[in-house]
Amino acid sequence: MGLPAPAALTAALHAAYTGVTAVVAELDDFDLLLPSGCRGWTVCDLLLHLSLDPQRALVALATPAAGPPDADYISYFRVMPGSGDAIAHAQWVRRTAAAFSRPSGIVERWTETAAAAGYAAGQADPTGFIRTQSLVLAVPDFVATLVTEAVIHHLDLIVSLPDAPEPDPEAAALAVSTMDGLAGSDGLPAHWSEREALLKGAGREELTDEDLAVLGDRAALYPLLS
């Protein structure tokens, strides 16, 4: 299991971010207040949370770190520091989103920041390293983590938006590759679709009796990320 070439990775990030933009760009302020797939958050709340990723990427990509890396694009999700009190973060996001005069202001913030981060990723040295969340990652691995986060949250964004576009196929395939790595040596259940792998791997859908029978003791690994 390995990553695509750097150019393909940056293309996947661009596609993942523009995919999110395509979901929210035409929504009115009331649509942006619909529930998302993240408990307690509206679409605009979640978009504000997601915008922290390209913001973090701009800092990381502009401040290269010395190697060797502490993690790769798979183990990152096992070892990254937690966000502390999840309720406190959820409340911070809601308060911060509410500080915008209109929900569409968050769309503007996302669109500008995501485009800048995508450009910065394309300009970064693919042989270099960055530091983020107290971890050192190779640039390609870091970009892959951003893609996976964006794909999962894209699916969260469209829970109340049945006509919204799905994540880009190449970006989604990379996110599934991450899930497959997190699932251990036996990988993901073969009977899952790509969408099931993403939703069940991220704990957005419950495991069925069939899933539990196939997974056995490995069911304890789920969700693979949250």
Q: What is the pLDDT of residue 42?
A: 98
Q: What is the pLDDT of residue 85?
A: 81
Q: 154 vs 149, 150, 161, 171, 208, CA distance in Å?
A: 8, 6, 11, 11, 23
Q: What is the pLDDT of residue 116?
A: 98
pTM to 2 decimal places: 0.96
Burial-class residue 136 by CB neighbours within 10 Å (0-12, 13-18, 19+).
Answer: middle
Nearest 5 degrees, angle CA 121-CA 4-CA 176? 100
d(CA 140, CA 9): 7
Q: 127-183: per-residue pLDDT in tens?
A: 999 999 999 999 999 999 999 999 999 999 999 999 999 999 999 999 999 999 999
Provide φ and ψ at 50, rounded to 5°: -65, -30
Q: What is the pLDDT of residue 160?
A: 98
Q: What is the pLDDT of residue 1?
A: 60
Amino acid at 214: V
- At which residue do the structure tokens 């790509």 appear? 194
Nearest 5 degrees, angle CA 91-CA 96-CA 97? 100
Under-50 pLDDT residues of the chain: none
Whether 121 contacts 76, CB under 8 Å: no
Q: For the domain bounded by 6-168, which CATH number is listed?
A: 1.20.120.450
Edge to edge, what strands does the sheet with 135-138 contain? 64-65, 129-132, 135-138
Q: What is the pLDDT of residue 164?
A: 97
List where CATH 1.20.120.450 sits in the chain: 6-168
Residues counted in the chain: 226
Q: What is the pLDDT of residue 84?
A: 60
